[in-house]
Chains A and B, each alone.
Chain A
Amino acid sequence: MTTVVELKDVHKRFGSNAVLRGVSFSIARGRVTAIIGRSGSGKSTALRCMNRLEIIDSGTIDVCGHAIHSPDIDLRRLRMDVGIVFQSYNLFPHLTVEENVTLAPVAVKKKSAAQAREIAERTLRQVGLADKARAYPEQLSGGQQQRVAIARSLAMEPQVMLFDEVTSALDPQLTGEVLRVIEALAADGMTMVLVTHEMEFAARVADDIVFMHQGKVWETGPGSMLRDPQTAELREFLAHGL
């Protein structure tokens, strides 16, 4: 069981607000980890620190052999190994779906146009949108755009995929199509970290669950933990929701 992601005693503050107060956990290859917790518990921040979208104040983070906390880190190599899907999809509005997916493989990995198109076709088929290659993001529904965002990240063949509340901005009837794609990716053996509010999904699909509270890891365990919480805070969170 190789460890691909390891956080040790990570601290981060925004101004006077201490968001992460000593976060430590590790993730093994091929495992799916769900991070749950209230708004403000620091879960999104912890995720964003993993690919250096936020820079930590102290502690260490190691992802796929990259020392994230080190200032000399090669960001481009890191971003090729770690993919991220955002809550607001962030597709490039001036490019078609296919162009969105092929942009990075061509520009960064120097693939030829033909190779990139092949990759795009494969990943779009994986997310069930092969027929929408020529469409523009504004022509798609929220769920479809989010799936394109997943395909765009997959096209770079990352070792780890991060999902930052990817269904929170969607209408309820559209979350299903996105969750199905994520579940398929998990079955294929992708190492994934999901910050999510979908408790049922987390219980079913995640191998490990990390419950964060007030900037610390409060409780960890397998999916069954959600049926049998050990700490009062987790019990409270599960009872009253977000």
Chain B
Amino acid sequence: MISGGLNIHHLYFLLIGAAWTICLSLIAFVGGGIGGGVIALCRISPLRPVRWLAIGYIQLIQGTPLLVVLFVCYFGLSILGFSLPGIVAAGLAMVVYVSAYMGEIWRGCIESVARTQWEAAECLALSRAQRMRLVILPQAVRIATPPTVGFMVQIVKNTSLASIVGFVELVRAGQLINNSIFQPFMVYVLIAILYFAMCYPLSAWSRKLERRMQFAARPVGPA
């Protein structure tokens, strides 16, 4: 018998919450991924104002807690006259947040493609766009895979903040359950277990990818 009145319906409710967590995470990942790609390319643009805009955006978002970004989006949207469900504000905040962090990660990966590859491509008369598309980005994508997967873990964990603006993901689901059975500790333990179940496989996968990267990155060229 499970103590304190926690029954199968509650568990089911939690799992629905977990499903919404995954849903919000995917929105954040896809939206933030597109945004991050744009930010990364702007960050390395030869045009100075574009570069500085990207730097400014990244510094702004990276210097602000996600919770504050979330509130700004939530109240900002209502100022604009929208009375949208919590998921929109949460989704917007997550996309803004992920774009900045993802953009920085990917910029680092693009820049870590050896200078000599840039030179070789340049000396074959390829234009800047061709260099990026055919030589640099394919290699950067390979380098970027482990940290991107690792960041997905951060995304999943950060969706927990959406509970604060009322979106019924996993944490909020648990809080609602707790309002009827008053067993906060046990509820949060269950929530933690569910998060762990979602995040640990991603963490392990990211580590495996990173090991494979290090092994495969025997330098192609003179030792």
Which A residues lie at the B interface, using CB under 8 A?
51, 53, 75-80, 83-84, 86-94, 103-104, 107-108, 137-138, 142, 145, 152-153, 156, 169-170
Contact = CB atoms under 8 A, between A and B. Distances in A.
Q: How large is the interface on B (under 10, 10 to 19, 20 to 34, 35 or more residues)?
A: 20 to 34
Give the interface SS of chain B, mostly helix, strand, loop or mixed.
helix
Contacts of B120: 86, 90-92
B159 to A, nearest CB: 34
A116 to B, nearest CB: 13
Interface string B119-157: 111111111001000110011001000000000000000
A86 B124 contact: no
Across the A-B interface, the 6 shortest Cβ-Cβ residue pairs: A169-B222, A79-B125, A90-B120, A104-B124, A93-B220, A90-B116
B221 interface: yes
A75 B131 CA distance: 14
Contacts of A137: 220
A92 B117 contact: yes
A89 B116 CA distance: 9
B129 to A, nearest CB: 10
Contact of B117 (A90, A142, A170): A90
Interface of B: 116-117, 119-127, 130, 134-135, 138-139, 142, 218, 220-222
A76 B138 contact: no
Contacts of B125: 75-80, 104, 108, 156
Given A108-B124, A108-B130, 18 more contacts: A53-B123, A75-B122, A75-B125, A77-B125, A78-B125, A79-B122, A79-B123, A84-B123, A91-B120, A92-B120, A103-B124, A103-B135, A107-B126, A108-B125, A108-B126, A108-B127, A137-B220, A153-B124
Contacts of A152: 124
A15 B93 CA distance: 46
Given A89-B221, A94-B139, A76 B127 contact: yes
A79 B220 contact: no
A90 B124 CA distance: 12
Contacts of B126: 103-104, 107-108
A78 B130 CA distance: 17
Nearest to B220: A93
Nearest to B216: A138
A157 B130 CA distance: 20
Nearest to B124: A104
Contacts of B142: 94
A31 B139 CA distance: 38
A169 B218 CA distance: 16
Contact of A51 (B116, B123, B222): B123
- Residue among A53, A83, A93, A137 with the most chain B CB within 10 A? A93
B113 to A, nearest CB: 10
Contact of A79 (B116, B124, B221): B124
27 contacts: A51-B123, A53-B123, A75-B125, A77-B125, A79-B125, A80-B125, A86-B119, A87-B222, A88-B116, A88-B221, A90-B117, A90-B120, A90-B221, A91-B220, A92-B120, A92-B135, A92-B139, A93-B139, A94-B139, A103-B126, A104-B125, A107-B126, A108-B125, A108-B126, A108-B130, A137-B220, A142-B222
Contacts of A142: 222
Contacts of A156: 124-125
A107 to B, nearest CB: 5
B221 to A, nearest CB: 5
A93 B142 CA distance: 11
A14 B123 CA distance: 21
Nearest to B120: A90
A137 B127 CA distance: 23
Given A138-B218, A138-B220, A142-B222, A83 B138 contact: no
B144 to A, nearest CB: 13
Contacts of A108: 124-127, 130
A91 B218 CA distance: 14
A170 B222 contact: yes
A85 to B, nearest CB: 9
A185 B135 CA distance: 28
Nearest to A139: B220
